[in-house]
Amino acid sequence: MYNEGPVVGEVVSELLGTFPHVVCVDDGSKDGSAAAARAAGAKVLSHPINLGQGAALQTGFDYMLARTDATHVVTFDADGQYLVSDAAAMVTKAFATSVDIVLGSRNLGQTEGQPFTRRVLMAAALRFSRTVTGIELTDTHNGLRVLTRSAAAQMNLRQFGMAHASEIESRVAAASLTWCEHPVTMRYSDYSRSKGQSNLNALNILFDLATDRLGATA
Amino acid sequence: MIIRIFLLASILLMVIVLLKARPSGGRLAMTRLIGFAVALGAAASVIAPSLVTEAANLVGVREGPNLILYVLVVVFVFTTITQNVRIRELDRRLANLARAQALLDFDRSVDAHESTVDSVHPRG
């Protein structure tokens, strides 16, 4: 989370109603998000500086692998875009199907109040990621996921910004992890819209992915 | 034209070399050597401007200053890519450091919490 003070407490307490452990990675927030999350009962890991969402996710995975013996981990955005009930259903699905990773898909579910330009952009991003990874997802860059311990160990994310979502998909392809999707409902509230990414950020993601590819294969 | 082949080949070579190599002593040395060569060339062009034009004519460029511009472009691209690779590596290290710090802090807060709980409710 990064500067999600107004909502994170509520998100954490909602989660704690269903899940026994909530770990919040505070990505160098300046607005007391860490204290709010801690007060709500989450375990809080604090980056001393802001690094980006990908880096925060990796910190969460590292914590899970090094300090717990959990079998599954849920990744859940701190801004309240997702429903706890969706997360719970995805965990049930993960146990039932024993796939390595369950990915949330807003296109199988409902999306409330998504701006039109964002919908067009996400459609283009989806086509791109299908082509690149060869995985026939129905959604991309959805932050709600359930990973098994071994899947989390495969991640080792190097993209610290938003491109990590594509990176996760390429890890799934590279390590031939088994996966399935689950419909999720997204709440694009005024809060998340005001906090959310600019559409132009898609260009940054493309650039990050392209240059990383050069660096990795050469 | 010789100059076109030279420029394109050198740009391509730099990109390949830079992206392929991990930062190491050898690449650093190469960077420095190229730096010296550029400096020497610059000094020569100041001392004897006609040399630049002669060198330019030799590789098929009409004017000396044009040759300097081309070389500068190549050097600029080279520098940019080097810095980019370096910054990315630094970012990675920084993130690992921050991550280690976050985990350490967490462990410490858990320890502190446990010891206060012990002192408030002494066991036994």
Contacts of B98 in chain A (CB under 8 A): 47-49, 51, 55, 59
Rounded to whole angstroms, the Cα distance separating B62 from B68 reads: 12
Q: What tokens appear for B31 in the block?
A: 């960077």
Rounded to whole angstroms, the Cα distance separating B31 from A4 reads: 45
Q: Check residue A84 and give its pLDDT.
A: 85
Q: Check residue A197 and give its pLDDT.
A: 64
Q: Check residue A144 and give its pLDDT.
A: 87
Span B83-108, average pLDDT: 87
Separation in Å, CA of B35 to nearest CA in chain A: 24
Rounded to whole angstroms, the Cα distance separating A158 from B88 reads: 10
Query: Among all residues of chain B, which has the CA nearest to that of A61?
Result: B99
Rounded to whole angstroms, the Cα distance separating B83 from A3 reads: 30
Among A47, A211, A215, select the one facing B102 at the smallest CB separation.
Answer: A47
Asked if residues A76 and A144 have their Cβ atoms less than 8 Å apart, the reply is yes
Give the distance from CA A67 to its chain's centroid.
20
Residue A6 contacts by C-beta under 8 Å, 6 or more apart in sequence?
Answer: A191
Q: Which residues of B touch A (CB under 8 A)?
A: 16, 19-20, 84-85, 88, 91-92, 94-95, 98-99, 101-103, 105-107
3-state SS assignment for residue A142: coil
Containing domain of residue A162, as a range?
5-217
Q: Check residue B120 and give its pLDDT.
A: 53
Instruction: Give the domain CATH number at A80.
Output: 3.90.550.10
Say whether pLDDT at A217 is over 50.
no
Q: How confident is the model at residue A79 (pLDDT cuts 50, 70, 90)?
A: confident
Contacts of A158 in chain B (CB under 8 A): 92
Q: What is the 3-state secondary structure (H, E, C) of A32-60?
A: CHHHHHHHCCCEEEEECCCCCHHHHHHHH
Asked if residues B9 and A207 have their Cβ atoms less than 8 Å apart, the reply is no
Q: What tokens appear for A188 in the block?
A: 């694009």
Q: Is the CB of residue A12 less than 8 Å away from at least one CB of chain B?
A: no
Contacts of A47 in chain B (CB under 8 A): 98-99, 101-102
Chain A to chain B Cβ contacts (< 8 Å): 51
- Inter-chain CB proximity B19 and A158 less than 8 Å: no
Asked if residues A187 and A84 have their Cβ atoms less than 8 Å apart, the reply is no
Residue B2: count other Cβ atoms within 10 Å of its Cβ: 10
Q: What is the dihedral of CA A27, A185, A61, A102, to 10 degrees?
A: -160
- Inter-chain CB proximity A59 and B20 less than 8 Å: no
Asked if residues A191 and A119 have their Cβ atoms less than 8 Å apart, the reply is no
Q: How confident is the model at residue A216 (pLDDT cuts 50, 70, 90)?
A: very low
Query: What confidence tens digit (pLDDT) does each residue in B17-69 have?
Result: 666 666 566 667 777 777 677 777 777 777 777 888 888 888 888 888 888 88
- Inter-chain CB proximity A47 and B99 less than 8 Å: yes
Q: How confident is the model at residue A53 (pLDDT cuts 50, 70, 90)?
A: confident
Contacts of B107 in chain A (CB under 8 A): 67
Say whether pLDDT at A145 is over 70.
yes
Burial category of B105 from C-beta neighbours within 10 Å (exposed 0-12, middle 13-18, buried 19 and up): middle
Report the domain count for chain A. Answer: 1
